[in-house]
Structure 1
């Protein structure tokens, strides 16, 4: 079976959530995937076009009162098969984190201790804000999407984000103490 890039697989997956237009897909990415998987707006439409060309999705025009028609995308059986095949494949490699704080701290002897502390305090504050965002998302899923068939899987990925963020906050606290 033909191999596709990760953006293609991500958008195939998003189409299973009833997001149909490029705009809805972008909103979905911004509100969920963006916390652990980045897809730029400029990648969405070319990928959707490719999905149609490869017969992984079909397009239907949807009319809206007082607004121009919009294109809506629907997975084909072939698209579902490609997604399922990808989901069943083992991971190619562990993800590699690119973290500017760690990179700067790695070369920390070339800056003042005060600057390193500032860097860590700022990072910790951003992490705490992110953790609060995750809690808000969790509350929203519990309130509005609890019965959605994907909700438990969304909560699994959210729990991962909360745990990693919590661990990073604890790491900041320990590192600040050591400095």
Structure 2
């Protein structure tokens, strides 16, 4: 069986939702996956073309009066099988985090103490905003998709985001406490 890249699998998964066009796929990514998986328009359209070439999806042209025609993609049974097979495979490796804050802090001895404190404080503020975004997304899912079969899984991934963000906020508090102790 052919192994595809993660973007291919992500788009196959998105095609299981009501998102059928490149535009709606990008909107879905921006509203949901973007917090843990980024895919650009520049990746979406070539991947959709590839998925069709591989027989994983079929494309149909949709016409609406007064609007330009658009391509709509639907998974084939082969596409569903490929997605299911990938989902059932064990994880290849733990995700590796690239975190600019940690990289800068690692070399923090070469910047002023004040700048280091400011860096962590700004990071903490951004994390607080992210956490509030997650809370809003959670409320939206509960309000608009409570009976959707996918909703429970969306909430699992959202809970992961909330928990890791909360842990990062606690880390900020701890680090700031240590930095202020060092300042004295």
State if a TM-score over 0.5 links the two structures.
yes
Secondary structure of 2:58's counterpart equals strand
SS in 1 for 2:63: strand
Q: Does the residue aligned with 1:64 lie in a helix, a strand or coil?
A: coil
Instruction: Report the secondary structure of 1:60's partner residue.
Output: strand
Aligned to 2:75: 75
* Aligned-residue RMSD, C-alpha: 0.5
String of CA shifts for 1:85-141, please: whole Å, max 9, x gaps.
000000110000000000000011111111000000000000000000000000000
Normalising by structure 2, we get a TM-score of 0.97
**Equivalent residue, structure 2, for 1:91:** 91
- Alignment match, 1:162: 162
Unaligned regions of 5+ residues in structure 2, if any? Answer: 180-184
1:43 corresponds to which residue? 43
Counterpart CA distance in 2 for 1:101 and 1:132 is: 20
Task: Please list every run of 5 or more consecutive structure 1 residues that lacks an aligned counterpart in the other structure.
Answer: none
Which range moved further: 20-29 or 63-72?
63-72
Moved runs in structure 1, 4+ residues, more than 3 A?
none
Partner Cα separation in structure 2 for residue 171 and residue 79 of structure 1: 42
Give the secondary structure class of the aligned counterpart of 2:72: strand
Structure 2 Cα separation of the partners of residues 67 and 152 of structure 1: 35
